[in-house]
Each structure stands twice: as structure tokens, then as C-alpha cells.
Amino acid sequence: MWGLARTFKYGNFQASAVKKWGKSKYYFVWIDGHKAGWLNQRAFLRNKISVVKKISLVNNPYYIFPAKDAINFATDSTGTVVNPNKVKASQDEVLSNSASEHKITFTYGKAAHAHTVVEVRGDAQEGVGVADKPEQTGKSSSSWFKHYRTSGNWGKGASYAPETKPHVLKSGSFKLKTYFYQPATLSQGRSQTGMVGPVPEGMTI
């Protein structure tokens, strides 16, 4: 399940218990590995398929676009995220070898549905260049390992915020600025469910 959280734009919700009261179900949820309490299932998006509304492809005879790559997420009637492979698509793939437009419908069960349009652009020469430049020797730089350590943002007494401080590597005129994103460990209590360790989940340059 996904929802808004203060620490991350999207928090990881995990349910460890379910109880039914009247016509509603309540889930005991954990957010980013911390107890949050009981929530009504109506607090979550149900029977929802979120997709990219429009996708534009370069005209390329060697590429086939998998239609389900347009899916952001899909939920069932209880608000639980389902595997995108269980979502049905009116068209499994799009050939990008000629200019065309495809309207694809996604469905899950009887209630969830969404549409996306995949356009293949017409210029078959778009982005094509000629490799006619002479080979040149570049400068080398040694690897940078100064930040191989645990993030100070997670652990006992920490804020559990993702690490977003920039780090810079310089070598002559070469300058590389990086951001490492390190979230807190996500888990239900002492279980290994949804465990994410202190290894950076991603990097942007």
C-alpha cells in the first residue's frame, strides 16, 4: 500500500493484522517500519490503476515497447497493490517501426480500468548521427570511496530521513556531483518483511 508520509514523498505501508467491524475492514499498519495504528480500508486507493497518460516513442525499427511499462501501480478492492502482470492490457506491445498512435486500455477485475496513448513519431532519422569524429584520448580519475559509510540519518535517535547531501569529486577540470539516497530500514517490527538495509537505493548525477 502507498500513501503520503512526512519523511518521504511516498511511504511504505505494511499491514500486519486485519479486523472486520461492521461492513468495513481495518488494517494495523506500519509506515516505513514504524507502528502507525489501525486504518480503515477506505483510507487507501481501491480499484485503481495509475498509468502514464501519454507516451511518445522515437521511430525505431529495432525497439518494441511493452505496454505494461506504462503502469505506475494498480490496487485491488482492499487497496492492496497488485502485480502489474495481473493487469490485462488490450495490447501487449507496440512496435515502433512506423508512425502510429495506439490507445491501450488496462483492466483489473470488474472495477479498475485506465487508458494510455502510445505515439510513435514519424521521423525515422530523428536522433541518427554519423560517427565521423576522430578518436580522442581522455583524462582518467581514480575512484571515490570517501562516503562508504552508514548514513547519519537513520539509526537510534536519528530522523529516519533520506540522505540528500551532495558530494563532489574533482579531478582537474572534471567535476562530478552526486546525491545518494539512503532511507531508513523498512520492516515490520523485528521481521524481515520489506527489509531495506543501509545500501543506497539510487544515485543521481
Q: Distances from the Cα of 189 to the Cαs of 14, 39, 131, 150, 201, in angstroms?
A: 11, 18, 56, 21, 21
Residue with cell 517500519: 33
Look at the pTM and tell me if it is higher than 0.75.
Answer: no
pLDDT of residue 86: 95
pLDDT in tens, 12-71: 677 778 888 888 888 888 877 778 888 787 777 889 999 999 999 999 999 999 999 999
Inform me whether the pLDDT recorded for 98 exceeds 80: yes
pLDDT in tens, 171-182: 777 777 776 555
Q: What residues contact residue 165 under an 8 Å CB cut-off, 6+ apart?
A: 179
Q: Is 1 exposed, middle or buried (0-12, 13-18, 19+ CB in 10 A)?
A: buried
Full DSSP string of 3-16: E--SSSSSEEEEEE
What's the one-letter identity of residue 122? G
How sure is the predictor about 193, in pLDDT bands with cuts at 50, 70 and 90? very low
| Torsion-angle region of 66 (φ positive above 0: left; ψ -120 to 50: alpha; else: beta) | beta
pLDDT of residue 191: 52
What's the one-letter identity of residue 92? D
pLDDT in tens, 112-167: 999 999 999 999 889 888 888 888 887 776 655 444 445 556 565 666 565 566 66
pLDDT of residue 1: 47
Domains in the chain with CATH codes: 2-43 (no CATH), 49-120 (2.60.40)
DSSP letter at 127 equals T
